[in-house]
Amino acid sequence: MTIHTNPRHSESNFSNYGWVIVTMSFLANMVGYGLVYAYGFFFKPLASEFGWGRSVTAGPFGFYAIFHNLLAILAGMLCDRFGPKLILAIGGFCLGLSMILMRYVTTIWELYLVYGVLFSIGVAGEYIPVMSTVSRWFKVKRGLAIGLTAAGLGAGSLIFSPLCAWLITSFGWRMACTVLGIVAWAIFIPIVKFMRQFPRESIESRKLEGFSFSEAFRTKAFWTLGFSWLFIAIALWAVMIHIVSLATDRGMSMMTAGILGGVIGATSIIGRISAGFFSDKVGRKRILITEFIFQLIAFIWLLFSVKVWMLFLFAILFGFSSGGWTGVVAALPADYFGYRATGTILGFCAIMAGVGVAIGPYLGGYIFDVTKSYDYMVVMCVIATIAAIISASLMPPITKSQFIIVN
């Protein structure tokens, strides 16, 4: 493969293989997070069939959130060392297998094992490898490339939410698991085939640029980024996992709730791509804080959303804002710390986010079990989003002087 010496020319040329990497990474995120978002549709059927409370039903998802992010730092390290292909193959296989095995679950502990452990391996082997690999392939247009890759998360919600709602309504939740597992395997075959590490002859010239993990760990940027991601994840995932239950509790049918999830996914695609594009122009920190503020407005609106049209308006604003910040946050480790340990640093920041992913849905379920209402959960989301805005505001500006060259 010919390596262009001019990065701006290379990244503007859509025949460049980097855009193939973006396409495959988009598909990987679409499948991985389409299945993550699908858990919200299994929530009520599982709770109803087994007589579990909503906090109990949220438990395996919380375990997944923490465990998959602990695995994520390992996935990042392995990707830094060996490249993404093998890690993605393992991740795709585990994603499909976990969904197929989930149909045979009869106890909460089996759900912890299949979803909390096996599914976690699948997601960990997907997200960090693709995001860190795309960051390496691009420099001038990194924000746009990351935004397009992160748009796969929105596409996952757009496609898998109505699909999952239809499968569960038509065939039951166990058959839905089988179908989703087979679909995951089918899509990951071309992903693994076409995925490549950044060319070694070029990565050698880049790898000395930037911080080691231990050096990044001691910076203010590392911790303010990590905590802003943690707090915003609490708010995002509390709503993502409980939005179907919230909407159906307020009178919406399961199929309409599936469309609602699709709207969140569709608008998040627009948010991810536009935020990634504009972050290359005006700076990622500014875009990140702006999207956090819009998400705060969406949560305040949700407090008063009792009619169907109000919930759909929330879905539009929530999808656009959450898509916007997720479209830029994964590019920040490479911006702040360079290429030297991108996967490892991103993986560790994702661990902090994973704590938020675990806390949000569990607390949302617990609050509902105690109060029989989701209103207080939404208040929790408002508070967590304000904390994320404060943390992100404390992040230092990105300057060229941050990068150090290790001889």
The CATH number linked to 247 is 1.20.1250.20
Residues sharing a CB contact under 8 Å with residue 262, sequence separation 6 or more, in sequence order: 157, 158, 159, 161, 162
Q: Is residue 109 part of a domain?
A: yes
Best-predicted range by mean pLDDT among 137-151, 191-205, 287-301? 287-301
pLDDT for position 198: 67
Compute the radius of gyration of the chain from its Cα atoms.
Answer: 20
Q: What is the mean pLDDT of residues 333-352?
A: 76
Q: Is residue 405 part of a domain?
A: no
Number of domains within the chain: 1
pLDDT for position 367: 93
User: What is the domain extent for residue 176?
Assistant: 17-394
* pTM summary value: 0.72
Q: What is the mean pLDDT of residues 391-403?
A: 70
Q: Is the C-alpha dihedral spanning 226, 231, 232, 234 positive or negative?
A: positive
Q: Is residue 5 part of a domain?
A: no
Residue 208 pLDDT exceeds 60: no
Question: Which of the four pLDDT bands, split at 50, 70 and 90, describes residue 9?
Answer: very low
Q: Is residue 140 part of a domain?
A: yes
Q: Is residue 403 part of a domain?
A: no
Q: Is the C-alpha dihedral spanning 271, 275, 278, 280 positive or negative?
A: negative
Is 60 within 8 Å of 115 (Cβ atoms)? yes
Give the lowest-confidence range in 6-10, 30-34, 188-192, 246-250: 6-10
Q: Is residue 85 part of a domain?
A: yes
Q: Is residue 371 part of a domain?
A: yes
Higher pLDDT, 156 or 201: 156
Residue 144 pLDDT exceeds 70: yes
Question: Which of the four pLDDT bands, split at 50, 70 and 90, describes residue 407?
Answer: very low
